[in-house]
Structure 1
Amino acid sequence: MTTTVTAKGQVTIPKPVRDLLGIAPGSQVDFRRAAAGSVVLVRADEKRPASRFAKLRGHAGKGLSTEAIMTLTRDEA
């Protein structure tokens, strides 16, 4: 993604990057120099966007025992 630097030295962070990092108005960002010489944009505040897998985490709840699941997967029912 390419963006243009304004006369004041400002750039617009592309929306996909803002969404990925969870950057909203008022968020603080930091520019860090990587070992290879490139510059990396990271969130400076401690807020991190929720993982896209966060809503999938958890457990299946009470239900079948391990034995019952193994029986079903082995088609021994």
Structure 2
Amino acid sequence: MRITEKGQLTIPIDVRKALGIRPGDEVEVRLEGDHAVLQRIERPADYSRLVIEQLRGKGDVPMTTDQIMALMRGDG
């Protein structure tokens, strides 16, 4: 395997299949001694909803949803 200038590498298909890694999955890379370990991160199916519920009401942004969306689109 060769590392790109950006530090990227391609995980071989047999390794992806063995670990059940698919496009969009998250993986963890950690050091164990002088080795790097790659592990697929398992998230519950409703993980995004759980994160949003935890964050709801935590912010103090005095903007409406429409104003935030316009800002993200570059309209604001």
TM-score, normalised relative to structure 2: 0.51
The structure richer in helix per residue is 2
Aligned residue in 2 for 1:21:
19
Larger RCO (CA under 8 A, 6+ residues apart): 1
Unaligned runs of 5+ in 2: 45-76
Q: Which runs of 4+ in 1 moved over 4 A?
A: none
RMSD: 1.6
Give the counterpart letter for 2:41 in structure 1: A
TM-score, normalised relative to structure 1: 0.51
Q: Rg: which structure is higher? A: 1
Unaligned runs of 5+ in 1: 48-77
Aligned residue in 2 for 1:4:
2
